[in-house]
Amino acid sequence: MTNSINLIAFGTFGNPNGFKQTFFVGSKELAKSVKTFDLNTNAIKLFANSKVYAIRKEYANGFNTIAYSVYSYAREQNSDRSGTFIGSSILYTNKIAKEHITIAQLNEFHNQLVNKNVSNDTISVNHSDKFSVVKPKDFDKIEFHLREIENLNFRQNSDNYLVVFCNINDNNLNQFFEKSIDLLNVYDTIYFTDNQEIAEFAHQKGIFKLIQNVGEKREFEIEISNLIEERKRKREQSISEFEREVQRISEDKIQTIQEFKNQIEQSERIHLENERKLKESKEDVNKIGQFYDDFLNKTKNLINQLRHNNGKLEEVKQIHNSNKILFNNGISDLKRPNYTTTIAKPKPKGNLHTEHQRQDFEHRGGHKRREERDELELNDFKIDIYKVATLVLAFLLIITWVYFLFFKSNSVNETEVIQNKEQVNPILQEEEQKPDEITKIEDLNPKSNSILNENDFRIVAKNLKPNMKLEDVVKVIFTNNPTEISSVYFDQEAIYSKHLLELNKQCFEEKEGIYYFAKDTLRQIPSYKK
């Protein structure tokens, strides 16, 4: 972005032209986009023999601009309208010159403009393009005295304007312009005048703020002091916020590390317990096999006794019933291997939150831990049910087998009993497999505790297209929701897809095992609020 120095003349010309301004030196591109230098005569107005200086900022067509202007009272041709004027301006882009240089060049240009184009207090032309102008003799040397503009936000407009009633000799004006750069963060344009009528008019209208800087009244200095105090207050406020943030981060660090340690210790205890149980179960395998073999051998011996008429039927039944009681009591003492509890890998939060968000997070965290304890107890209860069901089915198998062995012995041989046993075994296997066949979607870590609000899910809807694959839909959701979804579930896209599909089945169609987005708006989009 280049620097440029623009020389502008303007005025009011009555019908049909009204206000017009012309860039006599400078950028034609900028001339098309910069605001006019016209005055709001409902707020400030020139009177006979009066003059107003002004400084303003503007962001125009990619340029940071500051303009220094001067207005002199002048009548229009064939008009008695009040508040008319002729004016000059030096407009800088990106850099400015020292104020005393700008004032000298501006006054020289404006004095020549008035001398050549005003006669008997009346503008002698009907358009600014027809002005007769003379470029100040040292105007081209200004570029050697440019400096950077600091601490000024050009893109922020306040729509505030300030009128300063003061002595506007060159020395005072130099100081006012120099201090006004800071004040342009508060006011878009600042006007300076020593004319009592202009000050009274501005005060009466009350549209622009009026202050006095004459005699004992030094309100301009007060404005500067107020600006400095406001900056100091904002700086102190920011320091306090940073210090609180540091305190929160330090607390989060301690809490996160402790949570990691606690979870690691819990994981170690669970794994040690699983290791002990698995070791016991491995040792029990041989015992279980021997226990079944002993019972089967005893039963086969009883069968041989009956087949060879070496024992009485009632005595054999009594012996077998005793063997069954011993078998049932013994089998109930043997433990099946427990399911190994899945242990989630600890994951740091990795984000900062305000005090309100922190309190809400802690509340939800406590609720989540209670839910996890309840779920763990429910899983243990389910495992116990499966163990009992397995034992009951095994017991029913034995009763069925004994029934065919003893009460059908006259018509069923040993081969048929074995066949019946083989027919029953598949049923037992099927029953034992049912718990494993139940499809359960793996939980997200952490569990989703919310869904996107209407505003957020409509943003997602705007980015979805028909026939978009489920995995692409998830990418859109993650991209548009970095805080509540992407930062929490960034490595769990596959699990997240299953939950999204489960909550919004009506929005997807399956084709050859692949789910595609088909219709409706996704309204149940899982998220996690801290």
User: What pLDDT shows up at residue 491?
Assistant: 84
Q: What is the pLDDT of residues 31-77, one digit of tens each?
A: 999 999 999 999 999 999 999 999 999 999 889 999 999 999 999 99
What is the Cα 217 distance to its own chain's centre? Answer: 50
In our burial notation (b when 16+ CB lie closer than 10 A, e otherwise), range 202-239 reads beebeebbbbbbeeeeebbeebeeeeeeeeeeeeeeee
Instruction: Name residue 19's beta-bridge partners.
Output: 12
State which residues of the chain have pLDDT below 50.
1, 355-356, 358, 361-362, 369, 373, 376-384, 386, 388, 402, 404, 406-438
Q: Comparing C-alpha atoms, which of 336, 497, 523, 300 is closest to residue 418?
A: 300
Q: Comparing C-alpha atoms, which of 62, 85, 99 is closest to residue 11?
A: 85
Structure tokens at 466: 């028909």
Residue 330 is which amino acid?
G
Structure tokens at 83: 């508040």
User: What pLDDT shows up at residue 324?
Assistant: 85
User: What pLDDT shows up at residue 316?
Assistant: 82
User: What pLDDT shows up at residue 214?
Assistant: 86
Going through 202-274 in order, the beta strands assigned E by DSSP cover 209-213
Instruction: Name residue 30's beta-bridge partners.
Output: none
User: What pLDDT shows up at residue 304?
Assistant: 87
CA distance readout (Å), 144 to 4, 8, 23, 95, 96: 12, 20, 21, 11, 10
Residue 84 C-beta-side C-alpha neighbours within 13 Å: 21
How crowded is residue 117: how many other Cβ atoms within 10 Å of its Cβ? 20
Tokens 């089998």 map to which residue?
331
How crowded is residue 184: how many other Cβ atoms within 10 Å of its Cβ? 22
How crowded is residue 317: how many other Cβ atoms within 10 Å of its Cβ? 15
CA distance readout (Å), 99 to 34, 92, 102, 147, 357: 22, 12, 5, 11, 50
206 in Cβ contact with 215 (< 8 Å): no
User: What pLDDT shows up at residue 374?
Assistant: 53
Structure tokens at 429: 């296997």
Q: Is the C-alpha dihedral spanning 243, 249, 253, 254 positive or negative?
A: positive
Find out whether the peptide bond into 446 is cis, omega within 30 degrees of 0: yes
Q: What is the pLDDT of residues 318-364, one digit of tens each?
A: 888 888 888 887 776 665 555 555 555 556 655 555 544 545 544 55
